[in-house]
A and B are shown apart, each in its own frame.
Chain A
Amino acid sequence: MAKAEYVKFVDVTKCDGCRACMVACKNWNDLPAEPEAFQGSVQSHANVTANTWNVLSFIEHENGKGNLEYLFRHSSCFHCSEAACVKVCPEDAMHYTEFGTVDVNADKCVGCGYCVQNCPFDVVQLATYKDKNGKEYKKAQKCTMCVDRLEEGMQPACVTTCHTDAMEFGTKEEMLKKAEKRLGEIKERFPNAMIYNPEGVGGTHTVYVLAEKPSVYGLPEKPKVPTSAVVWKDYAQPIGKMMLGATSMALVGAFVSNKLFNKEGKDHEEDGGGSHE
């Protein structure tokens, strides 16, 4: 059970796009560089990946008045309260921490990828590693909210490094209050501004003040835990485990997951993660 719920509050209207959060994340979490092809904009990576846990997205948007807005968003795991990844994980590798955030237990993760398939925000990805015999294996990876720092009473690395205080980390109550207050301050400049803390996933532990509608940022307007995930976790998996044992169930699951989970039957890998329910 969570001691208290904590939230990372991201105020995108204070972000100046410096990307120090991206470097701080790689530095603290010791993640390798992953150079990608030229994106056609200043943005470095198309999406977050298993080794790049936060990506600053750069969006050129002409608003209702025809004025150009250059919008930035620090995008990383939302740490949903009702997290689809936790729901579908057959090994309980995905779990809630004492801070209310979501983390992966690498020792338990078997790399089945259900979490990847079910994340409504396309945040979770599989990283490939090699064991000492050169055999490849996979583990789910994503932003941990620097849980190892939180446990030591520190703030997430991205929050600490942010020089404009576009990110803050604190109790849910305090952060939501700040978000409300900030929304009031910026409404005049950004009439479409909103707090993004979607109910469909039980609220999140990364809460945004967005300057524009979620779709402008490529975010689902109303994300929710996929029904298929609920069916899987609450019905199929317990029965299956009883019959086949946990590990074999993961293998069966890997086979059926494409059939069962692929959203609207599309190939999830190829649509660039853009399809949302």
Chain B
Amino acid sequence: MTNHWNDLQHTDCALIIGANPAENHPVSFRWLLKARENGGKILSVDPRFTRTSSQADIYAPLRSGSDISFIGGMINYAIENNLFHKEYVAKYTNASFIVKEGFDFKDGLFSGYDEATRAYDKASWSFETTEDGKPEKDETLQHPRSVFQLMKKHYSRYDVDTVTTVTGTPKEEYMKVAETFCSTGKPGRAGTILYAMGTTQHTVGTQNVRSYAMLQLLLGNIGMPGGGVNALRGESNVQGSTDFGLLFGDLPGYLGAPKELPEHATLAAYLEKETPKTGYWSNKPKFVVSLLKAWYGPNATKENEFCYQYIPKGNKNYSHIALFNAMYKGELQGAFLFGTNPVVGGPNAGKEKEALSNLDWLVAIDLWETETASFWQKEAGSDPSKINTEVFLLPAASSYEKEGTVSNSGRWMQYRWKAIEPKGEAKADMEIIHMLMRRLKGMYKNEGSPAAKAMNALYWNYGEHDHPEFDLVAREINGYYTQTGKQVENFGMLADDGSTCSGNWIYSGFYPEEGNLSKRRDNKDTGMGNFLNWSYAWPMNRRVLYNRASADPSGKPWNKDKAVIWWDAAAKKWTGNDVPDFKAIVAPSDPGGTNPFIMTKDGVGGMFAPTLNDGPFPEHYEPFESPVPNAFSSQEFNPTIKVWDGDFNLKGTKKQFPIVATTYRVSEHWQSGSMTRNQQWLSELAGHMYIEMSEELAKEKGIKNKDKVIVTSARGEVKAYAMVTKRFKPHTINGKIVHQIGMPWHFGYKGYATGDTANRLTPHIGDANTMIPEYKAFLCNVRRAD
């Protein structure tokens, strides 16, 4: 989240799209309902009328996979009707930048596309620069090659009629959403966009989010209280794990992982290549060297490139989809699965289950024996005599049985004390890793192989016994001065000469000398519901990111009743109800004083993003499997996604599978259900796998409520109860009826609540930037079971 949960209470309008927070993030509604009591509006855009929709002022349906069309139409609406925040757009975004000649967009393709590699040469997606290297601007936004004019032209194709024939949204409802949300473009008003996996789990997932960011920049909603682009994270600590390098392309703190490339051959070359000259990322070398010092300790010296060479480098795609493809082909020997259950949660789960049997060994670490840990059993539909995988099941401690921190969607890092001792032999994940590492280091101790060198160099100083000391890990994450051992104050103090270490620069500041700030529990409101002395929010305890943008260029809040920070001319510094996400002493009149987006190269928000793989502007493409042709161009699906070959990802045709399907979660179950389906009180609340469908589709197929039905896709089939509901309506897409169904994906055969696994249906294909699987839009068919 750019903002945080409590901050939702300040919104004038919440657009909830690709998320169902009433069911999956219920506490959000505590704050959203407060916003509504103050006159705020709630808009719910979803293929299905959900518990969230029940609380919304306006509900607008859309067909799964048509978000960019929906939002593109709103961008067009805001521009055409002059509803955007002009001063904000001109000053705080790159809308005024002039794009070089040669940039072009034709029939769904931006300039630079190479069909053979399905990739773009992004050279033509760049800005004109002045002699000193700064971007050329036209703050009147009139230059025909200004980002604003190019954006206007791009989205002029997204007129209401075209948009609604693609999304299937009734025009009247669409207009209500557009009017209501775009009213936040007025200076002093703020709108927020809440999204979750309904947005990201698409082959255009990244661009879906981009389209939200653009709309929010256009309406001047970023940096505002009650504004922002807010990802509702799907697990209690998914924010934390992402921050700590969960994603395959990242090292902790969103430092790009080095690859096996000539330009990454040395630390100097890597830093030269990956460090922008301007913006806060120009400090990257300090963060990278401090990370290496945390990992390799005294072994990391300037002379040996701080052990940079020991970081594994590879050029492959290490995403979930790619790993399972490799496993399926027998290219992987073994796997550790910590708290993950791909036999239920993975795309094309039936095939992923088969892939597991190609491993020599599998270590499953979980609270219960999951469908994945038991994939080889008869109950899983396997023949144990034919499976040679050796499976180890390690019992894991639950969150109440261990200490640690959890970072919520609002970036608050909250320490949790251990409530009870782990049951039986269960151990915390950190303990398991620690014990494993100590033994591995022991095994490699007297060896001289390259692998042993890397292993021996690793500085593993978390206690000389099997129980790792959490506090030592926490202190290292914050970082300390390597000479004195004193904690660094914050990431501003990190250096690139080896004098500091920090395991994750963005968290540096949470554990200064005075103590672990994630343990703070002062529930006094320090202003605007930011509770600055409760826990710690990265970065630097800032609660609303880009909050410089909540004030006008001269430093006065756009809305004096909802002020976040402002320039105090007498004290010569930024002050207010939040920690400034800005250099506190840089006056509005100073160079860079009106550049709120400190992490970007140019200090402004990116309407035009020349870095993503699939284009600088989001463009609508149909999902990999779609029932209709693309109304916007002849590119059917995202031209830059990797299309995996082989039988792992069979593609269904619309003739065979005419119905759009999507998957989702319910309040009562969590992820693959391994925790919640083993809990009786939750299992009784949501105990049955079901398929939600409209009354119209049910009638067409001769299905009655509660009938058992079979859903088929090109990948597999599932049997479940039919839930015939008024909350699903058929879409009218370009004059034709398109049916959509939906189903929860929590079920498997283990636990108290059992049912068929929805992911046996989902395709093994991912987003062009992140490789997140397209769980949310695929084709299927449905029939009665008997």
A36 touches B684 (CB 8 A): yes
Q: How far is the CB of A50 from chain B (nearest CB, A)?
A: 14
What B residues does A72 contact at CB under 8 A? 51, 54
A123 CB-CB contact with B under 8 Å: no
Chain A contacts with B in 57-75, Cβ cutoff 8 A: 60, 62, 68-72
A-B CB proximity, top 6 nearest: A33-B680, A70-B54, A16-B22, A18-B26, A33-B684, A40-B705
15 contacts between A and B (CB under 8 A): A16-B55, A23-B685, A32-B680, A33-B680, A35-B683, A35-B752, A38-B706, A42-B666, A44-B684, A60-B726, A68-B727, A69-B54, A70-B49, A70-B50, A70-B51
Show the binding face of B for A, using Cβ within 8 Å. Answer: 22-23, 26-27, 29-30, 33, 49-55, 666-668, 680-688, 690, 705-706, 721, 723-727, 752-753
A35 touches B52 (CB 8 A): no
Q: How many residues of A contact B (CB 8 A)?
A: 33
B52 touches A16 (CB 8 A): yes
B51 touches A16 (CB 8 A): yes
B681 touches A27 (CB 8 A): yes
A17 CB-CB contact with B under 8 Å: yes
A35 touches B684 (CB 8 A): yes
B725 touches A33 (CB 8 A): no
Task: For B53, give the chain A residue with the smallest CB separation.
Answer: A70
What B residues does A68 contact at CB under 8 A? 49, 726-727
> Contacting A60 at CB < 8 Å: which of B30, B684, B725?
B725
A87 CB-CB contact with B under 8 Å: no
A192 CB-CB contact with B under 8 Å: no
Q: How many angstroms between the C-alpha atoms of A17 and B53 in the bound complex?
A: 11
> Contacting A16 at CB < 8 Å: which of B29, B49, B686?
B29
A175 CB-CB contact with B under 8 Å: no
B54 touches A17 (CB 8 A): yes
Interface centre among A14, A16, A17, A40 (most CB of B within 10 A): A16
With A38-B721, A72-B54 as known contacts, state yes or no: A62 contacts B726, CB within 8 Å.
yes
A41 CB-CB contact with B under 8 Å: yes
Q: How many angstroms between the C-alpha atoms of A110 and B725 in the bound complex?
A: 43
What A residues does B668 contact at CB under 8 A? 19
Q: How far is the CB of A187 from chain B (nearest CB, A)?
A: 15
Q: A18-B51, A19-B685 are in contact. List 4 more A-B contacts (CB 8 A).
A: A16-B29, A17-B23, A38-B687, A164-B30
Chain A contacts with B in 1-25, Cβ cutoff 8 A: 14, 16-20, 22-23
B725 touches A14 (CB 8 A): no
> Contacting A70 at CB < 8 Å: which of B33, B666, B705, B727?
B727
Q: How many angstroms between the C-alpha atoms of A41 and B51 in the bound complex?
A: 13
Interface centre among A20, A22, A35 (most CB of B within 10 A): A35
Q: How far is the CB of B771 from chain A (nearest CB, A)?
A: 32
A263 CB-CB contact with B under 8 Å: no
A17 touches B685 (CB 8 A): no
Q: How many angstroms between the C-alpha atoms of A145 and B39 in the bound complex?
A: 34
B27 touches A44 (CB 8 A): no
A95 CB-CB contact with B under 8 Å: no
Q: How many angstroms between the C-alpha atoms of A16 and B683 in the bound complex?
A: 19
Task: For B667, give the chain A residue with the smallest CB separation.
Answer: A18
Q: How far is the CB of B8 from chain A (nearest CB, A)?
A: 13
What B residues does A27 contact at CB under 8 A? 681
Q: How many angstroms between the C-alpha atoms of A68 and B705 in the bound complex?
A: 18
Task: For B720, give the chain A residue with the smallest CB separation.
Answer: A38
B684 touches A34 (CB 8 A): yes
A163 CB-CB contact with B under 8 Å: yes
A233 CB-CB contact with B under 8 Å: no
With A16-B55, A33-B680, A38-B688 as known contacts, state yes or no: A163 contacts B26, CB within 8 Å.
yes
B-contact 0/1 string along A190-219, CB 8 Å cutoff: 000000000000000000000000000000
B51 touches A17 (CB 8 A): yes
B53 touches A23 (CB 8 A): no
A164 touches B683 (CB 8 A): no
A26 CB-CB contact with B under 8 Å: yes
With A22-B685, A23-B681 as known contacts, state yes or no: A164 contacts B705, CB within 8 Å.
no
What B residues does A62 contact at CB under 8 A? 726
B54 touches A71 (CB 8 A): yes
A41 touches B723 (CB 8 A): yes
B29 touches A44 (CB 8 A): no
Q: How many angstroms between the C-alpha atoms of A70 and B56 in the bound complex?
A: 11
Task: For A24, give the chain B residue with the smallest CB separation.
Answer: B681
Q: How far is the CB of B23 from chain A (nearest CB, A)?
A: 7
B49 touches A40 (CB 8 A): no
Q: How many angstroms between the C-alpha atoms of A41 and B685 in the bound complex?
A: 11
Task: For B722, give the chain A residue with the smallest CB separation.
Answer: A40
Task: For B706, give the chain A residue with the smallest CB separation.
Answer: A40
Q: How many angstroms between the C-alpha atoms of A71 and B51 in the bound complex?
A: 9
Q: How many angstroms between the C-alpha atoms of A19 and B681 in the bound complex?
A: 11
B27 touches A163 (CB 8 A): yes
Q: How far is the CB of A22 from chain B (nearest CB, A)?
A: 6
B54 touches A44 (CB 8 A): no
B681 touches A26 (CB 8 A): yes
Interface centre among B684, B724, B726 (most CB of A within 10 A): B684
Q: How many angstroms between the C-alpha atoms of A164 and B21 in the bound complex?
A: 13
Q: How far is the CB of B368 from chain A (nearest CB, A)?
A: 17
